[in-house]
Structures are given as C-alpha cells and as structure tokens.
Structure 1
C-alpha cells in the first residue's frame, strides 16, 4: 500500500500543476480495485483525478521510452561576471537598469534519482549530470553473492558489486543506496563496501 496508496495523490499533484493525465499500468487482476480507490478519493477530495489506467495480463508488453530512467534536480545560481567584480554597487545598479547582462547563470545538479534501473545507468554518457550531482539516490536491490549480477540484470535491477566496479565514475559527494530486496536483514543493509567508504564521497545505505 505504500506505493499504490499514493497513486491518487500523484494524479492530484499533476492536476494541480496543470500537467497532462498520466498513464498508470497495473496488473489486470487489481484494475477494478484501483478504479475504486480513485473513486473514493474523488468523492472525498472533489477532484477529477483524470488518468489512463491500463490493466495488463501476464505476458503482455508495454513500451516505455528508453530515456525514462529518473530525474535530476538542479539549482540555478546567478554570479556577477568577472569584468564587473570590484565595481561600486551604484555602478552595478546603473548597468542593470541600462539592460546590461551583468551576471552569468550557472546550473548545478544537486540531487539525482535513478528509480529502478540497471547499472547501465552509470555507464551511459547521457547521464553525466546525475553522476556529478551532489547527492545520487541509486538503487541497489541486491547486495551479496546469494544473488548473481545476471539475475539482477534479468529483472532490471542493480547489484552492489556493479556499483563498486563503477565507483570511479561516480563524482557525487554522497551516494544514497535504496530499494534493497526484502530478503535481506537490517544488519545486511549496512554492508557498505570499504572501497566506497574510502573514496572521495560518502556512502549511505537506506532501507526501502
């Protein structure tokens, strides 16, 4: 319920920001129940909660965009241009009023979230901003040798050993590992490898 219970709020938030109705895919066996969940929220909240709900049977396929991996949150900072440094405040004000562009805009990746993904995310050059973000939230579904890397990849997930192997590609100040398999105990969740701990960024582990 921690995931599916949030669907109505997710749709309501998109409505609030005037975004197009989302497509939601659920097992066909629970589609009717999900429809009822939305109906209850419509009655309680008075929102339309428009969405496209698709029920899929076992063996059916649904195409998703290849570039759908996660997201990056950026901060946008304005910095006074080098040539204007040291000028009195009144001079800078005059330039600004005259329409002179006195600042440079710098966009900095602050937080990146991968979602469920394979380690290919780390090696994909198009994800360079995520790998340079101050904080990278990265899935690590499997963390020991009871599950192989091949198994993790077969189900679209990442194994901790892959993250260790690609540690030199992670330029983040902190890496937050999430989405651990329920097979692991709380104690195992804190097995952050020494090779990551001693690198130039912090390694933190979090439960699901």
Structure 2
C-alpha cells in the first residue's frame, strides 16, 4: 500500500525510504517528485521533477515513462531536472530504449538554482540549491495571480472594467508559495533557501531521528537529523510540514513514535509523518 497524507489542500502519496526508493505524487498540482520506483498510478502525471541522480530517486524514470503508453498517455512527459545531469539522463534513457527496442519519449527541462519556469496555467516552479553529493535541487511551486492594487480596491466594477480597457496598470502580480520539496540535503537548505519556510506546505527530508546517529554523523552523510528540525522549530511558518525519507533502520511505527515523543507540540501539530501506519515499509 502507498502512503498518503493530507497536507493543507494537497495530497502527498507515494513511498519514500532513505537509500531505497522515493517517489511522491501531488495530484492537485499534477506533479511527481522523483522516480525511485515506477508506480503505475503515477504514469498519467505529465510533470516529473528529479531532485538528483542517485538511484533511489532517479533509477525508475525510464520504467515510469515507459508505462505511460500503457495507460493511454502518448504525449511526452516533461522532466525537470538539474541541468548538470541532463545529458547523463538522456544517455541512460537512450541506452534503455535500445534495450527495449522502443524509444522513450520525454521533454527535459534543465534547471539551475534560482531558475523559475512555468509548469502550466498559473503554476510555476522555482529551483533552489540543496546540499548533497553531486548536483541536486529542491523545487518550490508557486501560483502567480493578479490582484487589484490597493488604491483601486472598492472601486465600482464598471470603473475597473473601463480602466482595464484603457490599459491602465491597476493589477499587481502576486506569488503564492504553495509547496516546496527538499530531499537529500543538509539542513542548511533552510538558511540558503529560506522562502521554503513560508510555503504553504513543505516536504522535507528527515533521515535520522535519534541518538542512533548524531547530528555530526548525519551531516557527514549529507542528510538532515530530526534534532536540526527541532532546533529550528520556531522558523517553520508552513501550514503543514511533511517529514519523509526516513532511514530503513527505523520501522514505520518507530518513526511515528519518535516524532510524536520528541517534537515540541507547537510544531508537532503541523507535522505530517510520511510513513505507513503499519509495522513494515512498502515492499
């Protein structure tokens, strides 16, 4: 069974275990985050985002794209990814296509930290640097909406319509920070990309949870420890904080218990634990 949590207005579903597999879907945004395992129900999603090239996050991309034809999706999926790994991903999928004797169709969209690209309609994505081995990115999804300037608010509708026809600049474009995704990263991403703390929903890795691994050992492995999140509890302005990518050294029930027991109540009430409620991980 896939794990599923509700975080604000968004459903986060999929599976994630550190070093094994991570692939998440946010159906309300029509996005898939990483492709560490090919899930059939994810294949209808047109927009995929790779955080980095490690196998537990990217090795199932070809299989996932290959399923699309079986579920009636014949247009190329868009794959957003760190610019530095674009050529390697294309080479890997070309080799896989030769093995299958069938070309794998996709459109790659290379991203660098700070790049902002339109996904569709009013949804945009901004890439930010994460801190891991090799090129890696996090993604912040935002909606750009127009809002009447304060000096024109309360104006009669017909007057607003007249000003619009005349081309008057009566609207401002406003960015609403909806959801951010940061996996496989040092906790310093919370300092280098502070706007993710203001996203309505933040999906954040939390690989190690207790004294089995110290913060220093966690940092050596280029991951984030629960202690580091607790130390920054007052910084999180998010409506929901989804913690994921737990080490397989913990069983799912342990993950739930440790977070419940260790996180301060003010933050704990906003945390969604992305782990099964059963005693075993998927697979």
**TM-score, normalised to structure 2's length?**
0.55
Q: 1:85 to 1:48 in 2, by over 3 A?
A: closer
Indicate how the Cα distance of structure 1 residues 80 and 118 shifts in structure 2: closer, same or farther if over 3 A, else same: same
Change (3 A) 1:35 1:182: farther
Alpha-carbon distance change, 20 to 118 in structure 1, aligned in 2, over 3 angstroms: closer
> Contact 1:118–1:156 at 8 Å: present in 2 too?
yes
**Structure 1: runs of 5 or more not aligned:** 26-30, 51-62
User: Aligned residue for 2:113?
Assistant: none
Distance 2:268 2:233 in 1: 10
**More strand by percentage:** 2
CA contact (8 A) 2:143 2:178 kept: yes
Question: Would the alpha carbon gap of residues 88 and 109 (structure 1) be closer, same or farther in structure 2, given more than 3 Å must change?
Answer: same
Residues 38 and 49 in structure 1, CA contact (< 8 A), matched pair in contact too: no
Q: Which residue of 1 aligns with 2:98?
A: 39
After TM superposition, the runs of 4+ consecutive aligned structure 1 residues lying more than 6 A away are none
State the aligned residue count: 183
Secondary structure of the residue aligned to 2:227 is: helix
Residues 153 and 200 (structure 1), Cα distance of their counterparts in 2 relative to 1, 3 Å cut: closer
| Partners of 1:132 and 1:176 in 2: CA distance | 14
CA distance change for structure 1 residues 70 and 100 in 2, over 3 Å: closer, same or farther? same
Structure possessing the higher radius of gyration over alpha carbons: 1
1:13 is the counterpart of 2:68: no
Q: Greater share of helix residues, 1 or 2? A: 1
How big is the shift at 1:168? 1.5
* Counterpart in the other structure of 1:4: 59
Over residues 5-47 of structure 1, what are the superposed CA-to-partner deviations in whole Å (9 max), with x where a residue is unaligned?
224656953479xx9981337xxxxx98x765333456165x4
Contact map agreement 1:174 1:202 (CA 8 A) in 2:
yes
Unaligned runs of 5+ in 2: 1-35, 38-57, 67-75, 109-132, 276-280
Pick the aligned partner of 2:205 from 136, 139, 151: 139
1:89 aligns with 2:157: yes
